[in-house]
């Protein structure tokens, strides 16, 4: 490989990500580390041009390390820094870049102290953990206060100091390889406190990139694009070279992602505010929130602001709606309780649904859904009652009520609304979608809208009468 000059602040920086581990390759774990690192790099206006995963195989790892160092300016690597025989990253890095391992005594003492503090003085550090205190000779060490696997940075083909600041002063070499632990919380802290500050020092004064994610429900990607095109939102975005736009489906939602680049974070956020306003104007209540705020959190905030409460009567959702609500801190302020009434007897005994109604209409029916929502509201003394009853499958359907049939109900003072859907999804997706429709229906009602939009996919054309 030939040495290259480090890129200037205005030149595009090539970055790539490499995750290591048999468990990653086999799909035994979800590889979230790629996203975690890429999102952080984006904040520095550094885009990842390649992401790769490799098994715990020394020959293949060495090959990919060399390829990455040859084609990229910055390489972020996770995994393979543990104490066991299948943790190969450090040794392979040393062999690949001809930088012999050395024992870093301060790191060894830090690992010993970690074990002493976590397990007590009676349990000494296992000898295998000493392996984690060895590093390539010219590595800059990245301490790990949360675990026993420190990271390190190596500048390929060029000796640098043993402190990470020394590498920032190094000239003539571009391939900086950062090796970090695969445990997400350890990786996050190392990226935020050590790697990102180093990158910002190495390539200062670069344009800032910010992103915003708008969350929508009840509308597909093609319909989203049509709605945005009708008012030229996409055209306006495309005309600004500092803006980019995209879609992402994350069932049961569709996300709209806007990326803005500007000299400062404040200017980038100002652009994002402008584009977000365009999108919200075009889509109206289809946009329910931004960022990481899920629909149940948006609804909880609405109820809290109004001093209102709800109760649940769940059949086909099996307690999922209650689970999603109680995952939120402070949910006791808005959620009084719920009943998972699977059997008809439970619907009668716990929610007051008459046995005659069940016999006449069947458990999966408009009338029973309404009675369940009313029963929950009455039993728990709340402002609102929500109910679900349906056939999530994969069996149990009939020609009159096929798999996927569901009735969802919302009850409040003086009124109950029931909607009938045919949702053709697998069992877990069916239940999750039902929960989301219930949340969205109450959100819409609190905004003064109909509980379900007239063009909602899966909604039966016959609108149930108010009760």
Tokens 């069996």 belong to residue: 395
CA trace torsion 117, 118, 119, 120 (10° rounding): 20
Domains annotated on the chain, with CATH: 15-202 (3.40.980.10), 211-290 (3.30.70.2860), 296-446 (3.90.950.20)
CA dist., res. 173 & res. 423, Å (int): 57
**CA geometry: angle 202, 203, 204, nearest 5 deg:** 105
Closest by CA to 51, choosing from 82, 23, 9, 14, is 14
Determine the pLDDT at residue 460. 75
Residue 416, CA distances (Å) to 33, 34, 202, 353, 370 in order: 46, 47, 62, 15, 6
CA dist., res. 296 & res. 169, Å (int): 49
CA dist., res. 72 & res. 33, Å (int): 19
Closest by CA to 386, choosing from 306, 323, 441, is 441
Q: In degrees rounded to 5, what are phi and psi of residue 299?
A: -60, -45
Cis peptide bond prior to 166, omega within 30° of 0? no
Secondary structure (3-state) at 244: strand
Determine the pLDDT at residue 162. 39
Which contacts qualify for 56-63: CB closer than 8 Å, 24 or more apart? 56/20, 56/21, 56/22, 56/80, 56/86, 56/87, 56/88, 58/88, 58/91, 58/92, 58/95, 61/20, 61/88, 61/89, 61/92, 62/92, 62/95, 62/96
Cis peptide bond prior to 74, omega within 30° of 0? no
Closest by CA to 310, choosing from 281, 338, 330, 275, is 338
CA dist., res. 53 & res. 62, Å (int): 13
CA trace torsion 64, 70, 76, 78 (10° rounding): 20
Taking a C-beta distance cutoff of 8 angstroms, is the pair 315, 259 a contact? no
The per-residue pLDDT string of the chain (467 residues; one tens digit each, 9 = 90 and over) reads 233 334 444 467 999 999 999 999 999 998 999 999 998 998 888 889 999 999 999 999 999 999 999 999 999 999 999 999 999 999 999 999 999 999 999 999 999 988 888 766 567 888 899 999 999 998 999 999 999 999 999 998 643 333 444 444 444 557 899 999 999 999 999 999 999 999 989 888 888 888 999 999 999 899 999 999 999 999 999 999 899 999 999 999 999 999 999 988 899 999 999 999 999 999 999 999 999 899 999 999 999 999 999 999 999 999 999 999 999 999 999 999 999 999 999 999 999 999 999 999 999 999 999 999 999 999 999 999 999 999 999 988 888 899 999 999 999 999 999 999 999 999 999 999 999 999 999 999 999 999 998 778 778 755 444 33
Integer-rounded Cα radius of gyration of the chain: 28
Q: Cα 241 to the chain's mean position, in Å?
A: 28
HEC letters along 165-220: HHHHCCCCCCCEEEEECCCHHHHHHHHHHHHHHHHHHHCCCCCEEEEEEEEEECCC
CA dist., res. 40 & res. 58, Å (int): 28
Which token pair is 14? 């090539």
Q: In degrees rounded to 5, what are phi and psi of residue 205?
A: 60, 30
Determine the pLDDT at residue 134. 97
CA dist., res. 210 & res. 217, Å (int): 24
Contacts of 321 by beta carbon, 8 Å cutoff, 6+ apart: 312, 314, 338, 386, 388, 435, 438, 439
Determine the pLDDT at residue 120. 61
**CA geometry: angle 216, 222, 227, nearest 5 deg:** 70
In the 8-state DSSP scheme, what is residue 422?
A: E
In the 8-state DSSP scheme, what is residue 286?
A: G
CA dist., res. 459 & res. 151, Å (int): 53
């Amino acid at each position: 490989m030939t040495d290259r000059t480090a890129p200037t602040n205005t030149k595009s920086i090539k970055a790539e990500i490499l995750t290591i581990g048999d468990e990653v390759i086999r799909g035994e774990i979800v590889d979230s580390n790629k996203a975690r690192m890429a999102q952080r790099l984006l904040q520095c206006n550094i885009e990842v041009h390649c992401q790769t995963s490799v098994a715990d195989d020394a020959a293949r790892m060495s090959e990919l390390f060399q390829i990455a160092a040859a084609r990229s300016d910055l390489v972020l690597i996770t995994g393979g820094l543990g104490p066991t025989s299948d943790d190969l990253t450090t040794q392979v890095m040393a062999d690949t870049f001809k930088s012999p391992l050395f024992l870093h005594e301060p790191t060894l003492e830090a690992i010993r102290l970690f074990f002493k503090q976590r397990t007590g003085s009676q349990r000494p550090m296992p000898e295998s953990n000493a392996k984690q205190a060895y590093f390539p000779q010219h590595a800059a060490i990245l301490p790990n206060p949360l675990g026993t696997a420190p990271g390190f940075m190596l500048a390929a083909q060029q000796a640098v100091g043993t402190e990470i600041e020394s590498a920032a002063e190094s000239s003539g070499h571009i391939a900086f390889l950062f090796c970090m632990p695969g445990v997400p919380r350890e990786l996050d802290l190392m990226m935020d406190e050590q790697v990102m500050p180093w990158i910002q020092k190495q390539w200062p004064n670069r344009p800032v990139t910010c992103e915003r994610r708008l969350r929508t429900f009840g509308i597909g990607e093609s319909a989203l694009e049509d709605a945005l095109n009708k008012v030229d939102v996409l055209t306006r975005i495309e005309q600004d070279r500092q803006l980019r736009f995209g879609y992402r489906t994350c069932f049961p939602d569709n996300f709209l992602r806007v990326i803005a680049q500007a000299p400062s974070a404040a200017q980038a956020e100002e652009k994002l505010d402008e584009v977000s306003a365009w999108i919200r104007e075009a889509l109206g209540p289809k946009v329910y929130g931004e960022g990481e705020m899920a629909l149940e959190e948006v609804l909880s905030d609405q109820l809290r602001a109004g001093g209102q409460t709800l109760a649940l009567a769940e059949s086909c959702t099996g307690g999922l709606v209650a689970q999603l609500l109680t995952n939120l801190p402070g949910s006791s302020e808005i959620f009084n309780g719920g009943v998972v009434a699977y059997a008809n007897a439970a619907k009668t005994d716990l929610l007051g649904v008459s046995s005659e109604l069940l016999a006449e209409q069947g458990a999966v029916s408009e009338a029973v859904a309404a009675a369940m929502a009313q029963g929950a509201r009455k039993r728990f003394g709340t402002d609102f009652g929500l109910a679900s009853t349906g056939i999530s499958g994969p069996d149990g359907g009939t020609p009159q009520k096929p798999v996927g049939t569901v009735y969802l109900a919302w009850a409040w003072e003086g009124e109950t609304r029931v909607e009938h859907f045919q949702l053709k999804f697998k069992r877990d997706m069916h239940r999750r979608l039902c929960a989301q429709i219930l949340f969205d229906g109450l959100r819409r009602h609190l905004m003064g809208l109909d509980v379900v939009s007239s063009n909602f996919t899966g909604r039966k054309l016959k609108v149930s009468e108010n009760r």
